[in-house]
Each structure stands twice: as structure tokens, then as C-alpha cells.
Amino acid sequence: MEKLIVKGGNKINGSVKVSGAKNAALPILCATILAEGEYYLSNIPKLRDISTMLGMLDVLGITSRQVQNDVTVLNVENRDFYTAPYELVKLMRAGVLMLGPLLAKRKKARISLPGGCAIGERPVDLHIKALTQMGADVEIKHGYIEAECDGLKGADINFDIVTVTGTENIIMAAALAEGVTVIKNAAREPEVIDLINFLNKMGADIKGAGSSTITVRGVKVLKPCSYSVMTDRIEAGTFLCALAAVGGELTLKNAPVKHMGVMLDKLKEIGLNIDIKEDCIRASANERPSSADVSTQPYPGFPTDMQAQFMACMTVASGISVITENIFENRFMHVAEMKRMGADITLKNRSAVVKGVDKLTGAHVMASDLRASAGLFIAAMLAEGESHIHRVYHLDRGYDGFDRKMAELGISVERVADE
């Protein structure tokens, strides 16, 4: 294993190009199951989770190769394989996204119950209930979801709660189903829209992208295509949070500006100066950030995936901030680690009350999940002295070259073996 050693006290100065979005790339990779042939997918980020997904697809008979720096070519053949094994699915939750397309295309699916970040319950019962409504027989045996069907049929699906992966799974399943599927209380995230755009380019008939009601008219066949994955709004937001925390100047190139509205508004509220021209964000910060309250919500609200990074920024803000987590019940595991660095944070049910302090101090800290690792990195940038961030593999799951990019922006960071 590896760790990062971060020395605090440096400001950000420079420019960085935002990478492709992990949460868009993963379902798009799963959607290739739906049609045989060759796909050219560009803007695929270099991440641990992407490597894991490509490994799962390989088990299913779908090969991949790199032809350029960010272009992945997938070759999909009509195989009988339908099992996503525990050894791979345990590494990330996104493996469950194979359930819908496998049932739609190969009529069978055997998927290990998902793993990933330990941030709380993310049950798959919503996926199973919806697929059962579409005619699938689904059982959970020996830690696996086992499902089969004679052919999926359109249905009216009404999710009890908004679920991004549930919405994506059913969209993919419905693309080849017989008849019309109407998904109500659907997720509105930009990554869901990106998946729909990809499927429609393959020949699917999907309407309502970006709304809470999505209508899918099943087609008999889909075809492979070329596609460029959207850029990562969470990566962009993380860099801007870091800038607001330590100060300096930053140019974000290839930024998904139209999907960052609430984040940008909140960053302006805490004192970040932001100038936007098309997909370029120029930002600067010269003073200690102001305090602000945040409540995480499904899109278009403030994203749960930005909560830890924003909290790190608020640890040195002027005043008191209240950060409420409404999506995942265990997503405050980074609080204990930030307190080791001198942060003044009190937990009250689903809220964290953060009182800004004059400074943090370097310490050894342990990343509990993907976004917590980014939050701890920002805290380490703020801290006096040296911090050691352990379990850095969490960071590598969702950020493409994060420590390298930070080093290019003037942050003192070193990656070393963790004994």
C-alpha cells in the first residue's frame, strides 16, 4: 500500500484540466453489454475503479485496449457469460450496474452483492423490485444476486427514494425490453443524462433526461458507437474547494460549468472569486473563507460527494458552519480524522457543526472512503507541518492523478510506500 505525505502552507497557483467523470464512465462501460461490436470511448479517466470495471467486463468476454491517452476501445462479443464475481465487485459498488444490461441482453445475471466505500447502507432492493416488475425472477443466494428472465417487459416504475444507480440500471434494462417503461422519481444527475445520451446514440428511444420522469421505449436492437464521456464536476469542485481553503489562483480547463450551479454559488458565498468563460473557470482566493451552511441533496442540490471537501474548507473558516448529510448515514467518518488535526467539529445526528479555528496541525490520518480522502488532502494542505494520509487507494479510485495535479499547482506532496 501507499500513502501521501503533504506539507501544508503552500497556495495554489496554475491551471489544471478536469478529467472525465468516473460516475458517468462506469455506467457507460456497463451499457456496452447491450450491443455487440466495437466502441471507441474517449475522456475515460485513469482510475482504479475504471480498471476494476474493465476487469469485470473482461470476465464477461468484453475485451478492451488503449489506443490513445484517453481513448478506450471495447470489443463486445455475444457470449454466454453473465457472472460478475465477488473478487471484483467487492472493490466498488458500481458492479451492480451490470445487472440491468445483462438481464436485457443475455437473459441472466449473477452479480456479487456490491462493495465500495463504507459510507452507509446503499441497498439494491430498489433495483431488484423494479426488475421484478419488468418480469425478472430474482433471488439472493450465497452473497450473489441471481436473476433471469425470458425477456424483460416495460413497466411503470416508481422509486420510493431517488437512486442514481437504480435509475441507471432500469434505463439500461428497459432499452431492450418489450414495450414502454416509465420511471418516476428518477435521478436527475448529469451522469444519468450522459448515459441516456450514450444509449440514444446507440439507437435507444429514451426521453425525459434531466427530469424526474424518464420514458424508455424498448427497441429490438442497439448498435455500438463512439462517445466522449462528460467531465467530472466533483473533481472540478474539489479543486475549487482546495483553492478556497488555502488561497491562490487557479484556472480549471474543460470544466462542466453547466452542471456545477449550486457548488459554484456556495463557493462564491464563502469568498471565492470566480470568472467563467464557456468551459473555463478562473478563480482566486486571497482571504480566509467565510462560514456557510450546507445540506446535501440529490441533483440539482449540493452533492454528497462534495461534503467532505467542503467541510475541510470550513475547518478554518471565520465563524460556525452547519453541514447536514441527507444521503448517506455514515458519511462523517472523516470527522474524527480532521479532529486529530485540530478541527473543532461536533456531530449532532445527521449534522456536523464546524467552528473555524486559526490553523490545523499535521498528523497521521486514515482515509475511510473516496471523498473523505480528498477532504483529508485539503485539510493537510491547510495544516501546519507534515501530514501522512494512509489508505490512499481510496483517492485513486475516483481521482485521476490527483496528487500529481496538486504538485503541478504548487502543493508539496509525495507518494511513498506505506509500511
Residues with Cβ within 8 Å of residue 52, at least 6 apart in sequence: 88, 91, 92, 95
Q: Quick one: 222 and 271 in the same domain?
A: no
Into how many domains does the chain fold? 2
Q: Which of 197, 228, 259 is the last residue of a domain?
A: 228
Q: Which of 228, 258, 285 is the last residue of a domain?
A: 228
Grid cell at residue 255: 470544466
pLDDT on residue 115:
53
SS3 letters across the chain: CEEEEEECCCCEEEEEECCECHHHHHHHHHHHHHCCEEEEEECCCCCHHHHHHHHHHHHCCEEEEECCCCEEEEEECCCCCCEECHHHHCCCHHHHHHHHHHHHHHCEEEEECCCCCCCCCCCCHHHHHHHHHCCCEEEEECCEEEEECCCCECCEEECCCCCHHHHHHHHHHHHCCECEEEEECCCCCHHHHHHHHHHHHCCCEEECCCCCEEEEECCCCCCCCEEECCECHHHHHHHHHHHHHHCEEEEEECCCHHHCHHHHHHHHHCCCEEEEECCEEEEEECCCCECCCEEECCCCCECHHHHHHHHHHHCCCECEEEEECCCCCCCCCCHHHHHHCCCEEEEECCEEEEECCCCCECCEEECCCHHHHHHHHHHHHHCECEEEEECCHHHHHHCCCHHHHHHHCCCEEEEEECC
Q: Quick one: 317 and 281 in the same domain?
A: yes
Q: Quick one: 250 and 287 in the same domain?
A: yes
Q: Which of 361, 357, 295, 285 is CA-nearest to residue 325?
A: 295
Q: Quick one: 318 and 214 in the same domain?
A: no
Q: Quick one: 279 and 219 in the same domain?
A: no
pTM (predicted TM-score): 0.95
Binding residues: 22-23, 93, 122-126, 305, 327
Binding residues for UDP-N-acetyl-alpha-D-glucosamine: 93, 122-126, 305, 327
Q: Quick one: 298 and 149 in the same domain?
A: no
376 touches 405 (CB < 8 A): no
Q: Quick one: 155 and 246 in the same domain?
A: no
354 touches 311 (CB < 8 A): yes
163-181 per-position pLDDT tens digit: 999 999 999 999 999 999 9
Binding residues for phosphoenolpyruvate: 22-23
Grid cell at residue 390: 494512509
The residue annotated as part of the active site, out of 30, 117, 241, 313, is 117
Q: Quick one: 172 and 53 in the same domain?
A: yes
Using the Cα atoms of residue 289, residue 291, residue 297 and residue 300 in order, give the sign of their dihedral: negative
Residue reference for cell 495544516: 383
Query: Rounded CA gap, 60 and 33, in Å?
Result: 9
Q: Quick one: 397 and 364 in the same domain?
A: yes
Grid cell at residue 253: 480547463
Whether 117 is catalytic is yes
Residues with Cβ within 8 Å of residue 108, at least 6 apart in sequence: 82, 102, 147, 148
367 touches 361 (CB < 8 A): no
Q: Quick one: 63 and 152 in the same domain?
A: yes
Q: Which of 178, 206, 228 is the last residue of a domain?
A: 228
Range of the domain at 134: 22-228
Series of mean pLDDT values for 10-residue runs along the chain (419 residues)? 97 98 97 98 95 93 88 91 82 84 96 59 81 96 92 97 95 98 98 98 98 98 98 98 98 98 98 97 97 97 97 98 90 96 96 97 96 97 98 95 98 95
What CATH number did the domain enclosing 371 receive?
3.65.10.10
Q: Quick one: 214 and 244 in the same domain?
A: no
Q: Quick one: 254 and 138 in the same domain?
A: no
